[in-house]
Amino acid sequence: MRRGTLTVITGPMFSNKSGELLRLATVHRIAGRRVGLFKHSLDDRYDGLQSISTHGGLSMEAEPVSSSLQVALMVADVDVVAIDEAQFFDEGLADVAAQLVEDGVTVFVAGLDRNFKGEPFGPMPALMALADDVMKLRAVCMKCRSLEGTMTQRLIAGRPASRNSPIIQIGAADAYEARCRDCHELDN
């Protein structure tokens, strides 16, 4: 039996990580593979809990889960597993992905590599280390308009968030922007 592969899709908010995940899931479905789509249940934006949605309006039905164990228990009879919002999962997600790869499953994981402070986020560093391929996407910096947006800027009432703000705050364009390193800011 052939081993599977692990591909991590990462970058800041608004870099189209979810869009790339949905594109890859669609390609595998067209090829006749059984695809299991999962998202973290914290993400209730756009179409709610039952789908993975992009900021641009694309959407595909997905199973909401809150832990890596739930993913492991729900992946029987699939050839491909696609997981969105991986940064919200527990550290066990890397072990689950590694076991799926050993079992011959193709795994795609999308998530923010860094939080709004610019620090590594959740299980993403471990997933990136185990990955066969890492797709590091960029976005347009919403301050200087460069194509070097690699950071996620959190805004509160239009101002940079304090470094003491909670790490997890669900939001979209109402609370976040993509920024380049030069334009990324934290309020002390």
Q: Which residue in the list 20, 61, 63, 85 is annotated as catalytic?
A: 85
Which stretches within the chain are classed as H helix?
Answer: 17-30, 68-73, 93-102, 124-130
E runs forming strands in the chain: 6-11, 35-40, 51-53, 59-61, 63-65, 80-84, 106-112, 133-136, 151-156, 159-160, 176-179
Question: Which DSSP category does 47 fall into?
Answer: T
Taking the CA atoms of 14, 17, 20 and 25 in sequence, report the sign of the dihedral they define: negative
Six-digit token pair at 50?
Answer: 């039952």
Tell me which residue has tokens 């070097």: 148
Beta carbons of 183 and 144 less than 8 angstroms apart: yes
Tell me which residue has tokens 């703000």: 165
Tell me which residue has tokens 């006749």: 32
Six-digit token pair at 104?
Answer: 């011959």
185 is catalytic: no
**Residues taking part in catalysis:** 85
